[in-house]
């Protein structure tokens, strides 16, 4: 299934949308063969209050960051290779 999605226009548009949400501070995410599998919000439990983080699961990396504006702007992009 991942091979089927790798070269589709919809996948390219979704990856471009993730890149644009992180802005100029984020690293480029569009690579040949990379597929965006899922996304969601998880909550980091801190001492003072819970902090939401956005996560994007690709076939080869996990990207997460802090939410500034929901579904529009994120910051502090972190990439974990899988």
Mean pLDDT for the chain? 90
Q: Which residue stretches of the chain have pLDDT < 50?
A: none
pTM (predicted TM-score): 0.88
Distance CA 72, CA 54 (A): 11
Among 33, 1, 29, 32, residue whose Cα is nearest residue 15: 29
Residue 23 CB-half CA count within 13 A: 12
Handedness of CA 75, 45, 14, 36 (dihedral sign): positive
C-alpha–C-alpha distance, residues 65 and 75, integer Å = 6
Reply yes or no on domain 9-81 having CATH 3.20.20.70.
Answer: no
Domain range summary for the chain, segments of one domain joined by +: 9-81
**Residue 70's pLDDT is what?**
82
User: Is 75 within 8 Å of 21 (Cβ atoms)?
Assistant: no
């Amino acid at each position: 299934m991942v091979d089927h999605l790798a070269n589709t226009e919809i996948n390219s548009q979704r990856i471009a949308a993730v890149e644009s949400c992180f802005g100029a501070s984020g690293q480029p995410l569009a690579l040949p063969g990379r597929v965006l599998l899922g996304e969601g919000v998880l909550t980091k439990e801190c001492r003072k209050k819970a902090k939401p983080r956005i996560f994007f699961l690709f076939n080869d990396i996990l990207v997460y960051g802090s939410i500034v504006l929901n579904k529009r702007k994120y910051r502090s992009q972190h990439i974990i290779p899988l």
